[in-house]
Amino acid sequence: MKTPPSTSHNLTNDDLAPDTKQEWGWYSIFAFWMSDVHSVGGYVFAASLFALGLAVWQVFICLLIGIMIVYFFANLMGTPGQKAGVPFPVVCRMSFGVKGANIPAIIRGLIAVVWYGIQTFLASSSFIILILYFFPEMASLQKTTFLGLSTLGWIGFMSMWVIQAFVFMFGMSMIRKVIDWSGPAIYIAMFALCAYMLTQTGWSAINFDLSSKSLTGWQAFNMMIVATALVAGYFAGPTLNFSDFARYCSSHKNMKFGNLLGLPLNFMVFSIFSVVIVAASIPLFGKMITDPIETVKQLDSGMITVLGALTFILATIGINIVANFVAPAFDFSNVSPSKISFKTGGFIAAFGSVLLTPWNLFNNPEMIHYTVDLLAALIGPLYGIILMDYFIVRKQQIDVDALYTEDTDQAYWYDNGLNKKAVYALIIAGVASIITSFVLTDLANFSLFISGGIAAIAYKQLMCKEAIIHSEKLKLAKSV
């Protein structure tokens, strides 16, 4: 019998170790995607596609095809995590090496930190609506500023920061409870907001032609391709580290069913709600409002205003947890497992988000473009490398023990814990991604797919010898 390798304390802790219980069913995966989709950003994004000059039926085709692409890759990216019960940075050890996995982990973690701060800032805008509704005299606190944010803004931002920190303190068990009921609660509030606005306008006043221009022929077809790519790209971040959640799922079947409900079905329903509310804003307010927070501000009903503000606070907290807290919590823990736990990693991200002063970043689109987009340019290559390694090179075989050892004769040790070939593929595809994002800007919307394809091809070619050796070992194992 083969002796298992020794487990290294430099590579594991209670949070990174394989989850052996795997108690999540399909509903928790469904709820995960509801929390990710039901956000202010998701609302604005879905509504914005209707302003591209496409007909309503064309937009819905783009939404459906785009979200099916996301569904396809979510199933792929979640498979190794669900099978082995391990989070995203540990999955990366298969292709990048047990130490080299910190490269993709830090890339994903830094992106999440930036957006964690921005989402917390957006949630604080809704919280300020509630403050001013109940305490209008506090409006005077908007006159004084510190580091670019008013005193009232600081109160709102830090309140949201503390609320989220309270959730984080209780770990994944509390996070699961939050996402299990936050998504359905947002649907109830969205339905109430939609119903209220329709009672004020009536169906006859609703016009779903939200664009100032109309495209036909090849122009419309080209824009449909762009819109489809935008949908797929919008979910690229949380789909990349989906193993962070799939690891807890009881079966691959439950994971896929939860993805089916949470992505195609849920996304389309949420998009319909978003578009109806945006369309109703035109006859109700005399202009199209795509920002749901601004819509809530304009309403005369106190109850709807309070309900709407609470909804968007809950929605933003939900997406911040699933997309921007769990990822860096695991990613930063992976850097030094013996010193950084899941909670510690999450709080590093949370404190880092304050130091970034996200309100200044949010108000400077050019700065967001050059910081976030530069990091995001490497997401496509990570997809290509990870999927090519797991499905083609390794034929879906995982040596779980080897993921947690520094023994030099194990599968994922490579060269001092680093697979240089994965790094080379990342650099090659990363350069291509940066060029398409910042130079050949006509291709920017397709950078995710272009760089992912280049990375997959480059990695396969570089790992050709290893793939042959691995195939021979599998044949030998089956013949024994």
pLDDT digits 0-9 by tens, 139-172: 999 888 888 899 999 999 999 999 888 888 887 8
> Given this model, what pLDDT does residue 218 score?
83
Non-local (6+) Cβ contacts of 228 within 8 A are: 62, 65, 66, 69
With pLDDT > 70 as the criterion, what percentage of the chain qualifies?
93
> Given this model, what pLDDT does residue 210 score?
66
> In terms of Cα–Cα distance, which of 290, 289, 328 is closest to 115?
328
- Indicate the pLDDT class of residue 472, thresholds 50, 70 and 90: low
Q: Residue 41 in contact with residue 293, Cβ under 8 Å?
A: no
Pairwise pLDDT comparison (212 vs 10), residue with the higher score: 10
Q: Residue 84 in contact with residue 398, Cβ under 8 Å?
A: yes
**Beta-carbon count within 10 A of 139 CB:** 12
Rounded to whole angstroms, the Cα distance separating 246 from 235 reads 16
- 250 to 25, 244, 254, 256, 342: CA distances (angstroms): 6, 14, 7, 11, 21
Helices 342-355, 326-335: inter-axial angle, 10-degree rounding: 110
Q: First and final CA of the chain: distance in angstroms?
A: 13
Q: The domain 26-376: what is its CATH number?
A: 1.10.4160.10
Tokens of 471: 């195939």
Assign 139 to helix, strand or coil: helix
Instruction: Tell me the average pLDDT across 367-380.
Output: 69
Residue 417: left (phi > 0), alpha (psi -120 to 50), or beta?
A: left
Pairwise pLDDT comparison (438 vs 132), residue with the higher score: 132
b/e 312-337 (16+ beta carbons within 10 angstroms → b)? bbbbbbbbbbbbbbbbbbbbbbbbeb
Non-local (6+) Cβ contacts of 152 within 8 A are: 128, 131, 138, 139, 141, 142
Residue 243 has pLDDT above 90, yes or no: yes
Q: Residue 74 in contact with residue 263, Cβ under 8 Å?
A: yes
- 421 to 164, 174, 462, 463, 480: CA distances (angstroms): 39, 39, 6, 7, 31
Task: Please provide residue 418's backbone torsions phi and psi, each rounded to the nearest 5 degrees.
Answer: -125, 130
**Beta-carbon count within 10 A of 405 CB:** 22
- Indicate the pLDDT class of residue 74, thresholds 50, 70 and 90: very high
Query: Is 275 buried (19+), middle (13-18) or exposed (0-12) by CB count in 10 A?
Result: buried
Give per-residue pLDDT as tens, 40-72.
777 777 777 777 777 778 888 998 999 999 999
Count of CA atoms in the C-beta half-sphere (13 A) of 43: 27
List where CATH 1.10.4160.10 sits in the chain: 26-376
Say what the pTM is: 0.89
